Amino acid sequence: MYIPRYPTLHPRHLLARRHASISPPFPLGRPRLRFFDSGTTAISHGIRALGLGPGEKILVPSYTCGGMIPPLRRAAMTIDFYEINEDLSLDRQDLERRLPGAKALLFIHYFGFPRTSLILRPFARPMEFVS
């Protein structure tokens, strides 16, 4: 029998805001949480929410799905692909080399498995880091 590391969601958790008696699990109870129909839509919204614009450099992992790129192109951002190691961890030296001038960094939790994002803390300004 397989027991997932993280509990799955019941559909009522997605409606919890409408029913005060239901307490959603973290992070679904956060006040500024937004739901999107696709990752592509979420990236488009994120670009606007962060105030990113044409010509600004964004670092993107070299191993990614094609759906992540169109919203960056539509925003006319400069895409710089950073290297990924065979174990799907980021190549820290390559990231450090590409970091100057970057306004944003896209980080992926591959195949639905959470990756530690603590390695990114030294690269982030304290108010901008979102785990």
Q: How does pLDDT run across 75-89, given as a tens digit for each residue?
A: 999 999 999 988 888
Give pLDDT < 50 ranges for the chain.
126-131
Residue 59 CB partners (closer than 8 Å, separation 6+): 80, 81, 82, 95, 98, 99, 102, 104, 105, 106
pLDDT of 16: 54
Is residue 97 helix, strand or coil?
helix
Q: Measured between alpha carbons, how far apart are the two ends of the chain, in Å?
A: 31
pLDDT score recorded for residue 122: 66
Identify the pLDDT of residue 67.
86
Whether the CB-CB separation of 122 and 128 falls below 8 Å is answered with no
pLDDT at 60: 94
Sheet holding 102-105, edge to edge: 78-82, 57-61, 102-105
Please tell me the predicted confidence (pLDDT) of residue 88: 86
Token code pair at residue 40? 């592509």
Within 8 A by CB and 6+ apart from 96, the residues are: 123
Give the pLDDT of residue 73: 96
Residue 4: the pLDDT is 60
